[in-house]
Amino acid sequence: MLPNNSEAWGDVTDTYTAQWQEYRRRRRWAFAVALGIGPLAALLLGIDGHPWLEPVAAVLGLAWIGAAAVTGWRFGLWPCPRCGHPFCVTSLRDWFWSLAGDRLRALLTSRCLHCGLPKWASSETGH
């Protein structure tokens, strides 16, 4: 536990702010990659009938799947500033086997699923 002085609490506030900035960065990347499927699908539909472009489409599709997996995992496993556990995932087993709607609901949670820290809190007290 931190000592109750303004210097120590200032460090926590700065740390929380930096961690929430990292959360936003990971969220932006995850959603940008997820939304990238639209242009990729249009590209794949547009090259139908051009056999020399099929390998390019396959590589792009595999790259998108890999990027979506990495950015989704990084966003989903972002650690809570207070407790250090994943903010929106209770267990990897549940995350892996849950339905997409359950995952989306978890990602949009307003509190840490482990310690209850409110999203965007700037201090230990949750304010």
Q: Where are the domains of the chain?
A: 13-107
Q: What are phi and psi of 85, to 5 degrees?
A: -80, 160
Residue 9: is its pLDDT beyond 50?
Answer: no
pLDDT score, position 7: 44
Tens of pLDDT along 36-78? Answer: 877 777 777 676 667 777 777 778 888 888 898 888 889 888 9
pLDDT score, position 5: 39
User: pLDDT-derived band of residue 97, with 50, 70 and 90 as boundaries?
Assistant: low
Angle between helices 37-46 and 54-76 (to 10 degrees): 170
Q: Global pTM? A: 0.73
